[in-house]
């Protein structure tokens, strides 16, 4: 695990070299990626509730920790699945495990800056809020840079093709969500239909 953490650190500072090691020399860890994703979900829950009142506009009284955690984790998993489906059409070299590790490893700067924001928002005044926004922005930019760099490396894409694939990933994610909602809707209607039929048959038998 110590070695895996070293390559995680390398991926954050030197993403092209780090993700090359992760992809082609099996230096990554699915277990570590899952752990990072779980921490990300927990930090999102903490940020929802414990961010200082000067920045926190969330209705804390209506907080649902399970919903926040699941939605945070599901977005990352959906992004990995969508990217994998798209790159299968664009001759991407990365497999699902590599894509998932890139997505999860890239969340580390976002986790770090989110924790800093939670702490600073509780001790700083509203006049100093710009500094907090700047820290949060650095985390987002750093994470996006790591994702773009990592996907370039594992799929062996150029920058332009990688950006096209990332845009296609958003489209694929939307289609997956649409099909999932459609499937659940049809399943609910079918269940309602069979329940109504069963109820009618039972009523006639009793009569």
Q: Delimit the domains of the chain by residue range.
A: 2-171
Of 56 and 136, more confident: 136
Looking at per-residue pLDDT, the higher value among 1 and 167 belongs to 167
Residue 103: pLDDT over 60: yes
Distance of CA 22 to the CA centre of its chain: 19
pLDDT at 1: 67
Q: Look at residue 144 in the predicted model and tell me its pLDDT.
A: 93
Residue 138 banded pLDDT, cuts 50, 70, 90? very high
Q: Is the pLDDT of residue 27 over 60?
A: yes
For residues 35 and 1, is the Cβ–Cβ distance under 8 A?
no
Average pLDDT over residues 124-152: 87
Range with top average pLDDT, 62-66, 69-73, 162-166, 195-199: 69-73
Res 52: pLDDT: 78
Task: Collect all residues with Cβ–Cβ distance below 8 Å to 7 and sequence separation of at least 6.
Answer: 18, 21, 22, 27, 28
pLDDT at position 104: 92
Rounded CA-CA distance 52/163 in Å is 36
Are 48 and 68 contacting, i.e. CB atoms less than 8 angstroms apart?
yes
Q: Is the pLDDT of residue 3 over 80?
A: no
């Amino acid at each position: 695990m110590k070695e895996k953490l070293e390559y995680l650190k390398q991926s954050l500072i030197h993403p092209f070299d780090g993700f090359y090691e992760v992809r082609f020399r099996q230096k990554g860890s699915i277990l570590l990626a899952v752990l990072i994703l779980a921490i990300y979900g927990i930090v999102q829950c903490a940020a929802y509730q414990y961010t200082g009142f000067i920045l926190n506009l969330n209705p804390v009284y209506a907080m649902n920790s399970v919903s926040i955690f699941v939605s945070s984790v599901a977005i990352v998993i959906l992004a990995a699945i969508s990217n994998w489906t798209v790159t299968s059409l664009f001759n991407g070299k990365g497999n699902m495990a590599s894509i998932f590790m890139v997505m999860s490893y890239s969340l580390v700067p976002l986790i770090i800056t989110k924790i800093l924001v939670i702490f600073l928002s509780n001790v700083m005044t509203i006049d100093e809020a710009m500094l907090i926004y700047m820290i949060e922005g650095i985390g987002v930019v750093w994470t996006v840079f790591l994702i773009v760099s990592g996907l370039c490396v594992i799929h062996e894409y150029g920058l332009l093709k990688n950006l096209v694939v990332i845009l296609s990933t958003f489209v694929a994610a939307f289609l997956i969500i649409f099909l999932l909602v459609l499937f659940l809707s049809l399943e609910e209607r079918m269940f309602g239909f069979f329940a109504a039929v069963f109820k009618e048959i039972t009523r006639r038998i009793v009569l």
